[in-house]
A and B are shown apart, each in its own frame.
Chain A
Amino acid sequence: MTPRFILTAERVRNGFAALFVLGFFAYLFGPLIIMGVTAFNSSAFPRMSPFECFTVEWFDVLANDAKLVEGLRNSLFIGVGVVLLAVPLGLSGALMLTQVKERVRPWYYTIVISPILVPGVVLGISTLLFWDRIGTMFGASRDSIFYDGFFLTIIGQATFISAYTMLVFISRLQRFDVSQEEAALDLGATHVQTFRKILLPFLKPAILSAAVLAFLASFENYNTTVFTIVSESTLTTFLAGKVRHGINPSISALAVIIVVITLLGAALHEVLKRREAAAEKETARIAAGELARRRRVKPFALEPAVLLIALVFVAGLGSAYFAGTIGVEECKAQVKAEKIRQAQERTRQREAKAMFQNAPAASEAAGQQIQSTDKSERAGVSQFQGIFDVGNLKDQAGADDGGDGAAQQSPLGTENFNPIFAPQNLSPPIDSSGDNRNDNRSDGDNRNDNRGGDQ
């Protein structure tokens, strides 16, 4: 007899659990995947379906955006600054923890760990105010360092990022054998020599992973930065401005880039952590007196994981770029032809319907619709997308004048939120700069984008 599958309560429960976990992961990754896909869809509105043509044009749009490049440069600069500040601070904080008296330690720890538990906006505001006051106290001029967006942002971010790096160092220091320090001193080394030659080499992996952690945390910080950055912009504040003033696939493209960068960073961080853990085990074995054939630590660049990541990254980039540039134009032309055909079809249907009903009002509306397809479509979209932005409400109201009538009378409800079948919108001029182009391919949101800029 073949063993039959018996449905037990246990199995049912396990099945449900597995389903639940599956759902959870879908929930985690779904949005990111959808966002990623929209970056490669030639559709002017970030969407996954219908997927029109595979394209990398949105990345070109980005590359031509001077503001973005500037924000990116600022983010990198601030990230480096934060690393340079937060790593020594975290290290000192961790070293100090081992030194303060037993009685003081809980208080000390509470204070240095508290920035992690304070909302980012609060940190940003307090940093901004504090240095402002200090600047006033010294009578410093408005363009002195106390009012400088870079300085403030680095200080503000380092306040809590130092606590992160400190945690990294604490966990490493817990495994430090103090007698090594004493041995060095005993052999005549000065305190500074002992620190440089014994403690620092021991902490090196932790310093590396703390640096990566600090950079990532700085690179993706928004809440603190938005207050401290003053008149400058970083990648995140630029991104926030763009998202708030309407969405278009170039943001998805930017998202893909940022995700890739952060993921590479995160992978690096993970690899570093693993290396550290492996080294840890090794030292533990040595301490236990086991005779271990020590593997020489490979240079970092030769780590298989690092190589693999780099390879996948380069291959993905290359193939995506090729796929995105070849055959896009033909595909677009096809889609355009198809849309024109559909639009004509609909127009014919409406005309037929209007003639059939023979009602003057309806026919007039239909006529209007044909003439102002663009406008009604914009309105249709803005009904659903325009409200994303409080600032857009006024414009939306204006657009609604023409839109409302058409929308109500439109026989097909779904048409209203399908923005891209206006025939005159389907031929994008490739030459112009990003903003202009968006203007031409206008739909509800891109229209907002031109005005959006930075506020």
Chain B
Amino acid sequence: MSADVQLDEVWIRFGDFVAARDINISIRQGEFFSFLGPSGCGKTTLLRAVSGFLQPSQGRVSIGGRDMAGIGPNKRPTALIFQNLALFPLMTVWENITFALEVRGAGRAARRKKAEELLELIALPGQGEKMVSELSGGQRQRVAIARALAAEPSVLLLDEPLSALDLKLRQHMRTELRAIQRRVGITFIYITHDQGEALTMSDHVAVMSHGVIEQVGDGNSIYNRPESAFVASFVGENNLFSGTVAATDDAYVTVDSPAGRLRARHAMRGGKAQLAAGDSAFVFVRPESLKFAAGASSASAEASSTEASSSTGALDNRIGARIHQQEFEGNFWQVFCDVDGVDKRVKLSMVNDGASMGRGPGEEVTLGFNADLAVALPQGELAAE
């Protein structure tokens, strides 16, 4: 399918401050596309450039193949759902919803009809006469969506629309949003700093940091194949070992770290290798990829690779550690371990299979993981905790 929204080499500056740096993105017709990034990274700024409230300092924004330069927000085929919703408090629900029709001069009967349709769509039938203030947070949310949909945009832009809701409602609304998007079939561009939201709903996610797109991909590739240290540390939980590259090939990297010699996948970026021998590198391992290895620890990856473990099969890496604390979370055990030379405690998640874990704090253990489940990346900025 053709690209619906395209950003080419877009830069946005406020004075000396660069809010968006060389952004290149193409979003396909009908997809659910998310921007994910920490607060202040420039997500809203980028969205405002798409909706036309802001002219890029440089570069091109095109929608449906048309260059949008010089076209005001009221002439673009986009509709924006604001971070604070910006519903009109002096209008009733149905007046809010059909505002776009009203300004186009549609008659009252046509507006009422459209309002009923949309109220049906957002599961608020018969609530049109209420004032906005008489609605609950989630209902307001849905009214804002209906109001934007009434404009019949080809692209719907949503700026952290769920951030003000409580957890339960947020989870419910995620499903609803996704359902609505499937029903109306238009492009959704969704902004969030909540990775759960981004990963569950999106066809594609762009991870941003400091005005730069770090990586674009579907949820699976963002989570499992991060291409930068920032993405690896921002998306999901990750244990981090820093060290120096000892050897590298196209598939794997060997890194010397205080925890020992570690072997991990070699992450490509844009099809290019990122590491060479002698570079500083981070090795990231997800807590669920860590296992308890039987027997004495071995710092040598080569040694361990040949050894067969009775409980977990072959493990590429082994690390000696001491259990610091364990937390029971029902379906999971979270175990925190001290590793000599590693600042941050290493975290391990184990599925609760009903058996007792059989280990206690202070106990010396050996942790292990497979090279395919770990990734080595050039050292770079990490996401703040």
Is A in direct contact with B (CB under 8 Å) within the complex? yes
**A residues with CB within 8 A of B:** 177, 179-180, 182-190, 193, 197-198, 201-202, 282-283, 285-287, 289, 291-294, 296
Flag if B131 contacts A202 (CB, 8 Å).
no
| A contact residues around B53 at 8 Å (CB) | 182, 185-186
Chain B nearest CB, measured from A202 CB (Å): 7
Centre residue among A177, A183, A287, A292 by max chain B CB count within 10 A: A183
Sampled A-B contacts (7; CB under 8 Å): A185-B53, A187-B79, A187-B151, A190-B103, A286-B132, A286-B133, A296-B131
Chain A interface mostly helix, strand, loop or mixed?
A: helix
The complex places the Cα of A189 from the Cα of B164 at a distance, in Å, of 27
| A contact residues around B147 at 8 Å (CB) | 187
| A contact residues around B107 at 8 Å (CB) | none
Flag if A188 contacts B103 (CB, 8 Å).
yes
7 extra interchain contacts, Cβ-Cβ under 8 A, other than A187-B103, A193-B103?
A179-B86, A182-B86, A185-B72, A186-B151, A187-B100, A188-B100, A189-B74
| A contact residues around B88 at 8 Å (CB) | 180, 183-184, 198
| A contact residues around B90 at 8 Å (CB) | 201-202
Q: Mark B232-259, 1 if CB is under 8 A from A, else 0.
A: 0000000000000000000000000000
Chain A nearest CB, measured from B184 CB (Å): 16
Please tell me if B205 contacts chain A, counting CB pairs below 8 Å. Answer: no
| B contact residues around A282 at 8 Å (CB) | 133
Chain A nearest CB, measured from B129 CB (Å): 11
Flag if A294 contacts B131 (CB, 8 Å).
yes
Please tell me if B80 contacts chain A, counting CB pairs below 8 Å. Answer: yes
Chain B nearest CB, measured from A233 CB (Å): 43
Flag if B74 contacts A188 (CB, 8 Å).
yes
Contact of B82 among A183, A188, A296 (CB under 8 A): A183
Which residues 141-163 of B sit at the A interface, judged by CB distance below 8 A? 147-148, 150-151
| B contact residues around A285 at 8 Å (CB) | 133
Flag if B84 contacts A177 (CB, 8 Å).
yes
The complex places the Cα of A282 from the Cα of B132 at a distance, in Å, of 12
Centre residue among A187, A286, A292 by max chain B CB count within 10 A: A187
Flag if A180 contacts B86 (CB, 8 Å).
yes
A289-B137 CB under 8 A given contacts A189-B103, A198-B88: yes
Flag if B99 contacts A187 (CB, 8 Å).
yes
Chain B nearest CB, measured from A92 CB (Å): 22
- Which residue of chain A is the closest to B76 with respect to CB atoms? A186
Flag if B148 contacts A187 (CB, 8 Å).
yes
Please tell me if B78 contacts chain A, counting CB pairs below 8 Å. Answer: yes
| B contact residues around A186 at 8 Å (CB) | 51-53, 73-74, 78-80, 151
Chain B nearest CB, measured from A287 CB (Å): 7
The complex places the Cα of A442 from the Cα of B52 at a distance, in Å, of 79
The complex places the Cα of A190 from the Cα of B75 at a distance, in Å, of 9
Chain B nearest CB, measured from A282 CB (Å): 7
Please tell me if B172 contacts chain A, counting CB pairs below 8 Å. Answer: no
The complex places the Cα of A188 from the Cα of B136 at a distance, in Å, of 27
Chain B nearest CB, measured from A205 CB (Å): 11
Contact of B151 among A188, A292, A293 (CB under 8 A): A188
Flag if A294 contacts B133 (CB, 8 Å).
yes
| A contact residues around B86 at 8 Å (CB) | 177, 179-180, 182-183
The complex places the Cα of A311 from the Cα of B107 at a distance, in Å, of 43
Chain B nearest CB, measured from A230 CB (Å): 44
Top 5 A-B pairs ranked by shortest CB distance?
Answer: A183-B86, A189-B103, A179-B86, A187-B100, A294-B133
Which residues 70-107 of B sit at the A interface, judged by CB distance below 8 A? 72-75, 78-80, 82-84, 86-90, 99-100, 102-104
| A contact residues around B89 at 8 Å (CB) | 283, 286
Flag if B103 contacts A291 (CB, 8 Å).
no
| A contact residues around B87 at 8 Å (CB) | 183
Please tell me if B134 contacts chain A, counting CB pairs below 8 Å. Answer: yes
A184-B164 CB under 8 A given contacts A201-B90, A283-B89, A286-B133: no
A179-B82 CB under 8 A given contacts A184-B103, A189-B99: yes
- Which residue of chain A is the closest to B152 with respect to CB atoms? A188
| B contact residues around A202 at 8 Å (CB) | 90
The complex places the Cα of A287 from the Cα of B88 at a distance, in Å, of 11
Contact of B73 among A180, A182, A287 (CB under 8 A): A182
| A contact residues around B100 at 8 Å (CB) | 187-189
The complex places the Cα of A182 from the Cα of B148 at a distance, in Å, of 13
- Which residue of chain B is the closest to A286 with respect to CB atoms? B133
Chain B nearest CB, measured from A260 CB (Å): 34
The complex places the Cα of A331 from the Cα of B377 at a distance, in Å, of 108
- Which residue of chain A is the closest to B148 with respect to CB atoms? A187
| B contact residues around A293 at 8 Å (CB) | 134
| B contact residues around A201 at 8 Å (CB) | 90
Flag if B99 contacts A184 (CB, 8 Å).
yes
The complex places the Cα of A186 from the Cα of B78 at a distance, in Å, of 7
| A contact residues around B83 at 8 Å (CB) | 179
| B contact residues around A283 at 8 Å (CB) | 89
| A contact residues around B52 at 8 Å (CB) | 186
| B contact residues around A287 at 8 Å (CB) | 84
- Which residue of chain B is the closest to A189 with respect to CB atoms? B103
Flag if A182 contacts B82 (CB, 8 Å).
yes
Q: Mark B120-134, 1 if CB is under 8 A from A, else 0.
A: 000000000001111
Centre residue among A177, A283, A291 by max chain B CB count within 10 A: A291
Chain B nearest CB, measured from A176 CB (Å): 11
Chain B nearest CB, measured from A372 CB (Å): 75
Chain A nearest CB, measured from B124 CB (Å): 15
The complex places the Cα of A179 from the Cα of B86 at a distance, in Å, of 6
- Which residue of chain B is the closest to A184 with respect to CB atoms? B99
- Which residue of chain B is the closest to A182 with respect to CB atoms? B53
The complex places the Cα of A202 from the Cα of B91 at a distance, in Å, of 11
Chain A nearest CB, measured from B295 CB (Å): 56
The complex places the Cα of A309 from the Cα of B230 at a distance, in Å, of 68
Chain A nearest CB, measured from B71 CB (Å): 12
The complex places the Cα of A283 from the Cα of B102 at a distance, in Å, of 24
The complex places the Cα of A188 from the Cα of B72 at a distance, in Å, of 9
Q: Mark B279-299, 1 if CB is under 8 A from A, else 0.
A: 000000000000000000000
| A contact residues around B132 at 8 Å (CB) | 286
Chain A nearest CB, measured from B145 CB (Å): 13
Flag if A291 contacts B136 (CB, 8 Å).
yes
Chain A nearest CB, measured from B49 CB (Å): 13
A197-B103 CB under 8 A given contacts A186-B73, A286-B133: yes
